[in-house]
Chains A and B, each alone.
Chain A
């Protein structure tokens, strides 16, 4: 399996009043074709920034450096803005949190959908093109599982429920058959039933069209069951990445372990007992600790942790920790 997205040591620096802050610190991420990859990070971990860096929504004040930021055979950092927009526009799409607020409140949903149908796929004279647009828009809605297309297309975004609005924004995202869909917390604050519907839809789209999905989420309880690989990010540093099953059953990193215990606490903890937690709070941008940024909150932190650990590799499982929970056996 080849990687279609290859990111090595991506660093994003911001200038703040307290000096230059590394918001993303040497983050690496590989995404294979047709794979669902879940990126888990708490607030302030820079996960949305990563999505923006991939998509090219870049603020000129950010300083982005990377050993590699490759999309298929394009080096995204070497492209000029026009070329980059062409590549991104053709191959990538993104959906957001709070779909209702990302749709235009003044335009009917049908009109917004018709707009997203790519011009290149339309043939014939004006009226023919117009008719094709409507047919294609309806077909898109069918594909995301909306049956009553006429009603949805004829309503304004605020008249739709959250779940339907998110489905509409997925429909708009897949209009030009992208190779990569970035979903930035698409189901936060949705109720579990709607959430599962969206997950099933995304998994189905990925399986049927070979679309890769980079799913960004805050919470380990809210991940697509079909996800093949997961990465955990904390304060802009990659903590651990690996196949989902491995990561869940044998975490190497104390952060992964803590997140698992905090999310699935019903398994070993009796009701009403105290939960295992990480002490303290997530540091703010101005007060990032040096070295491993989990340091001050980590139960295993020792002196060596003031240096940032390198990424160690055990088969497909990678983690950045000086003192992993499982002893690594070296085969030389």
Chain B
């Protein structure tokens, strides 16, 4: 199987004006190489300021990289070609209410990407929005609702609907589960698993929670101070992590208990 997404020497530096002389450069992400297969789930873990969000934004095209290339199906993605990027790679954010436009109804917000990226008639677009709303577990009636009329779980569903409406190949999520209530979070996790099965989407997400990462991810990418320090399958990293940081990040008391439990059973 060929790689769906290939990241080569991708890096990001920010520069600040500092005094009269040369601007200082701060490294957010050192050159990084990895690849993602179709339908695969990758978790990005790391401490605060380790470059997780930068990496997620670079993949989604929300930021322009300082150097390096991203290939999708062997084709180079131009960092300035938003139309190409937003069709194939879409993003979900942590704050679902903040990422929706409070002045537009749910339906209008979902119609927008279709208006700019497809050659469909208005009737076709409308129909597609209804189908997508049902796919994420909402009703066609929600078309005329405004974001504040929905609960936080439903808002996150709308964000997911907006992400899948163009049938992308990759979804990037930055801490999409962190601010949800436990019962709603479990529903959203199930939804993402269902969508992945139906549509064969690759899913790249940044998360703090070892439980969610262990449940969802095929591979884990560990970041530390802008560097990728480990990248391997979930099972490999759980059983024998090479770095101390990996151990700390994946450690959780409940998880340890669970692992002990399974090993004693075997």
> Within the assembled complex, what's the spacing in Å between the Cα atoms of A189 and B95?
12
Cβ contacts A213-249/B at 8 Å (1 or 0 each): 0000011110001000000000000000000000000
Given contacts A218-B182, A258-B183, A281-B153, contact A272 B190 (CB under 8 A): no
Other-chain residue from B178, B181, B185, B214 in contact with A282 (beta carbon distance below 8 A)? B181
Given A269-B215, A277-B186, A42–B181 Cβ distance below 8 Å?
yes
Does A191 touch B at the CB level, under 8 Å?
yes
Give the complex CA separation of A267 and B258 in angstroms.
5
Asked whether B261 is an interface residue with its Cβ less than 8 Å from the other chain, the reply is yes
* Cα A269 to Cα B255 with chains together (Å): 12
Residues of B within 8 A of A263 (CB): 182, 211, 254
Given contacts A221-B211, A265-B215, A271-B214, contact A192 B193 (CB under 8 A): no
Least CB distance, A219 to chain B, in whole angstroms: 6
- State which of B16-24, B30-38, B74-82, B245-253 sits at the interface with chain A: B245-253
A191 touches B211 (CB 8 A): no
Cβ A43 vs Cβ B181 within 8 A: yes
> Which residues does chain A contribute within 8 Å of B248, judged by CB atoms?
193
* C-alpha spacing A265/B151, complex, angstroms: 24
In the bound complex, CA of A45 to CA of B79 (Å): 45
B-chain residues with CB within 8 Å of residue A271 when the two chains form the complex: 214-216, 234
Q: Is there a chain B Cβ closer than 8 Å to A21's Cβ? A: no
Q: Which residues of chain A (173-225) have a CB below 8 Å from chain B?
A: 189, 191-193, 218-221, 225
| A316 on the B face (CB < 8 A) | no
Q: How far is the CA of A267 from the CA of B257 in the complex (A)?
A: 8
Complex contact A43–B258 (CB within 8 A): no
Contacts of B249 in A (CB 8 A): 192-193
The verdict on B58 contacting chain A, using a C-beta distance below 8 Å, is no
Complex-state Cα separation, A189 to B177, whole angstroms? 11
Chain A, Cβ-Cβ closest to B208? A191
A-B CB proximity, top 9 nearest:
A42-B181, A275-B186, A277-B186, A262-B186, A267-B258, A281-B151, A278-B183, A266-B258, A274-B190
Point out residues on B near A: beta carbons under 8 Å: 47-48, 151-154, 178-179, 181-187, 189-190, 193-194, 208-211, 214-216, 234, 248-249, 252-255, 257-258, 261
A-B contact pairs, 6 of them (CB 8 A): A219-B182, A262-B183, A265-B186, A265-B211, A267-B261, A277-B186
* Chain A contacts to B: CB under 8 angstroms: 42-43, 161-162, 189, 191-193, 218-221, 225, 258-259, 262-267, 269, 271-272, 274-278, 281-282, 284, 297
